[in-house]
Chains A and B, each alone.
Chain A
Amino acid sequence: MFASAFYSRQGTFGAVVLSEDGRVLAKVDLPARGHDVIFNRQNDTAVVFARRPGNFAVAFDIGGKKPPVTFTTRPQRHFYGHGAFASDGQLLFATENDYENADGTIGVFDASSNYRRIGEFQSFGVGPHQLMMMPDDRILAVANGGIETHPDYGRAKLNIPEMNPSLVFIDSRTGELLEKHELPVGMKQVSVRHITGGGPGRVVFAGQYEGSSLHRPQLIGQVEQGGGLAFLNIAGTAIDLLRRYTGSIAVSQDLDRLAVTSPRGGVVLIVERKSGRVLRTGRLSKARGVAATGNGFVASSGTGRIAGFDRSISIGDQHYSFDNHLNAAGGKSEMSVFN
């Protein structure tokens, strides 16, 4: 099954869980636009987070047996749209903006207590975006995009000339910073946004470039715990297609390939991780989310498609635009879009 946030042409917002053949398994309405939807594999629930600068999240039962639980972060904070569960499904970690202090935080929520917020720790950078629990179930990897925003100024980016993105590893039990990987000089305006696991101790990232519209820097790279951060060397012609912007990233189940979407470029790139060689370029209008399934990838779009289905996913008579992330769970799918 797949999960994604969506918005409709009628101006409504929600999150949806779909089966592989496009059936709606669960759907929840949202008061404003959501961003990422994550699964809690322990109890068949999913949690959708508000897109920044929203401050709500909704946990909903995929089986539809329990009413959804809406929770918020504390005052003076807002969510960045992403969260990650510990493997026992009890603790939920979410990226947040301590906007008065222009500092990133990780909010900690107790799933067993209606997602009560029980604490927070620093993200050790500005503008934390996606985060993930490493396979050891203790260390969190966090992409600090480096961009300062404040709700008083909407989504305006307040520190572009001074931005300093990073990818950090944090001990989720103590909040201690274990490693911080900053971007090299000359790449400081690549905002690291999306991350996914790339095997033990490894994280793959994709960014968005905030510098000149005439430049075409590399946007995709990987970090190794105890090692370093390095960008892949992807051919310039393929980087051009991304239009300086990535929507989401996924790594294949065999760990050899990654897929990245660009809504602006209307493209899905499949790249060999080892070499940076582009294996496939797929056009997908308003490509948004991507997930690894079976031996390939499935992508969603802002035109209501999950590529691989022969029709747009629509619910009732409305057409839905999926948001930038698509998560897969269940692992039984043999459907692969790009392989």
Chain B
Amino acid sequence: MTRLVSLFFFLWVAIAVLPPPVLAETIAPVRAAIDGFIRPNFERFADISELMVSDVEPLCERPSRKQLKDARSAFRAAATAWARVEFVRVGPLSTGNRAERILFWPDRRGTGLRQVQAALANKDGSVQTVGDLSQKSVALQGFGALEYLLFGTGSENLATAGSGFRCAFAVAAAQNISAIAREVSDAWNDDMGHSGIWLTPGPENESYRTDSEALAELVGTLAHGFEMVRDQRLRPIAPENRRPGLHKRALFWRSDATVSVINANLSGMQSLFDVSGLADSLTHDQRWLAGSIAFEFSNARKTISGIKLPIDRLVGDTEQSSKLAYLLVVTRSLQRLVGEEMANDIGLSTGFSPMDGD
């Protein structure tokens, strides 16, 4: 009995042990992240998406080579603006499959391509307006479909009259992206929405019980972002997979926006890290981590700037594709530095673990 009692006592000692207290102003990086990065970047994405609509619409009214060129440039700009902030999946982007509606990727089995080609072949009337399109398969709604329409087989015909169906589909897709982008931006700007929830942790808060949990969400956003770039953007086209046609596994290979989008992903993550001031949360002994993180971001930037070939030649070129392999190493390192070393140092022993899952 004595043994049982003592075990019971120790049990509660064991489970009552809380993680190390997090320093004052724990929530400050979250506030800085929302105000200084998340809100302005979703707003920018919404604005640039609207500009994209205004560059795609004239294709239907006044098709020309120049108009097609402008529409394609606008696509690249909007895709890059999206890439800068897409890794912030928490809150508005996680609702109603918005992230997948904007970009359904990875699309391993080519669902989007198959559906877009079928819609074009059958002249499916339900992809002609944004209202109808937004009710269709997510793979038909976003950047994946729009890229094929603007850059894929037959897209050159958009420069001349007679591609009304394809053009109307492209306008609907652009409008759909723009509408979702604005919804997401408005939701982030709503103080009563997820922003407010994230900034007011407490026992009554259904999402964040403590400041530490709120901070863990921010660190987790970065850690999962590195994983996304590595596993979904780099790994499929890594040199170890080299074979003919490998470039077709890259996101946005038709528009040759693959590398600029990876660049936008990583520069967005660096901005979020810098703007949030997460480094200030590190304990004195571990401040060196901030330097290591900055060093790796710098490595990534330099490596990407050394990529000169278009994606179809890049993946087959030994020297150039070795840079993709190096980026795999860098993103793995960043994930470890932020998601493990930093998370451990600032006492995020509850709420977030990069090792979670299954």
Which residues of B have CB within 8 Å of A33? Answer: 355
Given known pairs A51-B358, A161-B97, the reply for A335 and B4 (CB within 8 Å) is: yes
Within 8 A of B (CB), among A315-339: 321, 324, 334-335, 337
Which residues of B have CB within 8 Å of A237? Answer: 206
**Looking at the complex, which one of B13, B16, B355, B358 makes contact with A7 (CB distance below 8 Å)?**
B355
Which residues of A have CB within 8 Å of B256? Answer: none
Number of A-B contacts (CB under 8 A): 131
**Looking at the complex, which one of A154, A236, A266, A305 makes contact with B350 (CB distance below 8 Å)?**
A266
- Tell yes or no: A193 within 8 A of B by CB: yes
CB distance from B135 to the nearest CB of A (A): 13
Beta-carbon contact of A213 and B206 below 8 Å:
no
Within 8 A of A (CB), among B79-120: 89-91, 94-97, 100-101, 104, 106-109
Per-residue 0/1 for A30-56: is the Cβ within 8 Å of any B Cβ (1 yes, 0 no)? Answer: 000101000000000000000110000
Interface size class of B (residues with CB under 8 A): 35 or more
Beta-carbon contact of A264 and B97 below 8 Å:
no
Which residues of A have CB within 8 Å of B206? Answer: 216, 236-237, 240
Which residues of A have CB within 8 Å of B228? Answer: 156
With the chains together, A216 CA to B256 CA distance in Å? 40
- Tell yes or no: B15 within 8 A of A by CB: yes
**Looking at the complex, which one of A81, A153, A216 makes contact with B231 (CB distance below 8 Å)?**
A153
Beta-carbon contact of A337 and B11 below 8 Å:
yes
CB distance from B254 to the nearest CB of A (A): 19
With the chains together, A232 CA to B226 CA distance in Å? 37
Within 8 A of A (CB), among B230-257: 230-232, 235-236, 241, 249
Which residues of B have CB within 8 Å of A154? Answer: 227, 230-232, 235
Per-residue 0/1 for A182-211: is the Cβ within 8 Å of any B Cβ (1 yes, 0 no)? Answer: 000000000001000000000000000001
With the chains together, A237 CA to B100 CA distance in Å? 29
With the chains together, A89 CA to B188 CA distance in Å? 55
CB distance from B104 to the nearest CB of A (A): 8
Which residues of A have CB within 8 Å of B358? Answer: 35, 51-52, 80-81, 129, 193, 324
- Tell yes or no: A303 within 8 A of B by CB: yes
Beta-carbon contact of A263 and B236 below 8 Å:
no
Given known pairs A213-B91, A308-B10, the reply for A243 and B106 (CB within 8 Å) is: no
Which residues of B have CB within 8 Å of A241? Answer: 209
Beta-carbon contact of A153 and B96 below 8 Å:
no
Using CB atoms, name the residue of chain A closest to B349.
A285
Using CB atoms, name the residue of chain A closest to B16.
A283
CB distance from B197 to the nearest CB of A (A): 8
- Tell yes or no: B357 within 8 A of A by CB: yes
**Looking at the complex, which one of A7, A283, A321 makes contact with B15 (CB distance below 8 Å)?**
A283
Within 8 A of A (CB), among B12-69: 13-19
Q: Kindly list 19 other residue pairs between chains A and B, CB separation below 8 angstroms, not including A152-B108, A156-B232, A310-B13.
A: A80-B358, A152-B235, A152-B249, A154-B231, A154-B232, A155-B227, A156-B228, A211-B95, A212-B94, A212-B95, A213-B91, A240-B207, A243-B207, A245-B356, A266-B350, A308-B7, A309-B10, A310-B14, A324-B358
18 A-B pairs (CB sep. < 8 Å): A35-B358, A150-B106, A153-B235, A161-B100, A161-B138, A213-B91, A214-B197, A263-B353, A265-B350, A266-B350, A266-B351, A282-B15, A284-B15, A285-B349, A310-B10, A310-B14, A324-B358, A335-B4
CB-based closest 5 A-B pairs: A154-B231, A310-B10, A266-B350, A212-B95, A240-B206
